[in-house]
Amino acid sequence: MKVGVIIFPGSNCDHDAYWAFKEVCGQSATLLWHDSHDLENSDLIIVPGGFAYGDYLRTGAIARFSPIMQSVKRFADSGGLVLGICNGFQILCEAKLLPGVLLRNKTLKYICKAVHVRVENTATKFTHGLGVGEVLEIPIGHGEGNYFCDEATLTELHQREQVIFRYTTAQGEISAEANPNGSLDSIAGVCNEGRNVLGMMPHPERASENVLGMTDGLRLLHSLVESAALPL
């Protein structure tokens, strides 16, 4: 698998994702400049965390217009795999590749800490190697991770099983205390209807080596790498 990691002005997790896939997972990886249309024959595109274009206007609002995102949209529309992490999730929502929006955290403060997320659906290439109901410990770092959509969209997300991760306690229970940002229905990650585009607020690349203090994110990355060739 060849992994393409986008660099926007303001990205700060691009090299983290690059390292996790290349050095930890042993995959071919390349860095993709925001001002280019060339995805360099990548099999998986990572839209990383950070503050693309300084998060001016609102998170992801400017990044969606970058030349590289035009290519990412065509890639996704043709079935290509796209993973948006944190700011990447925000960008994918702004680009209409995923439903919903990310609002300011309920506390109106930036939050950086480890959280627990429950796997809700394994019928995707991102989660195929995980188990439904499995709880992962992965860190977050965001000021605008409060997922929101209208009632009709939420109903569709449930009907189509597009909610992939929810914030829970370590025991897998949903509670207000376990929801760090006020996200609707405790949603931490959703996919598109085609299940080839996933956005998630937690950072799996920050939980991919023992030196980082947690490794549950590596299970997600390995799941994606190992299932990429499966006809899901």
**Catalytic hit among 94, 116, 144, 203:** 203
Q: Write down the mean pLDDT value for the chain.
A: 96
Instruction: Locate 118 and state its tokens.
Output: 């429950």
| SS3 per-residue string spanning 58-123 | CCCCCHHHCHHHHHHHHHHHCCCEEEEECHHHHHHHHCCCCCCEEECCCCCCCEEEEEEEEECCCC
**Catalytic hit among 94, 120, 144, 205:** 205
Instruction: Locate 18 and state its tokens.
Output: 């690059």
CB atoms within 10 A of CB 15: 15
Instruction: Locate 115 and state its tokens.
Output: 């959280």
- The fourth-level CATH superfamily of domain 2-227 is Class I glutamine amidotransferase (GATase) domain (3.40.50.880)
Q: Is 86 a catalytic residue?
A: yes
- For 15-60, the DSSP string reads HHHHHIIIIIS--EEEEEETT----TT-SEEEE--B-GGGG-SSTT
The whole-number pLDDT of residue 227 equals 83
Per-residue model confidence as pLDDT tens for the chain (232 residues): 999 999 999 999 999 999 999 999 999 999 999 999 999 999 999 999 999 999 998 999 999 999 999 999 999 999 999 999 999 999 999 999 999 999 999 999 999 999 999 999 999 999 999 999 999 999 999 999 999 999 999 999 999 999 999 999 999 999 999 999 999 999 999 999 999 999 999 999 999 999 999 999 999 999 999 987 666 5
Q: Is 23 a catalytic residue?
A: no
The whole-number pLDDT of residue 75 equals 98
**Catalytic hit among 13, 25, 86, 191:** 86
Q: Is 142 a catalytic residue?
A: no
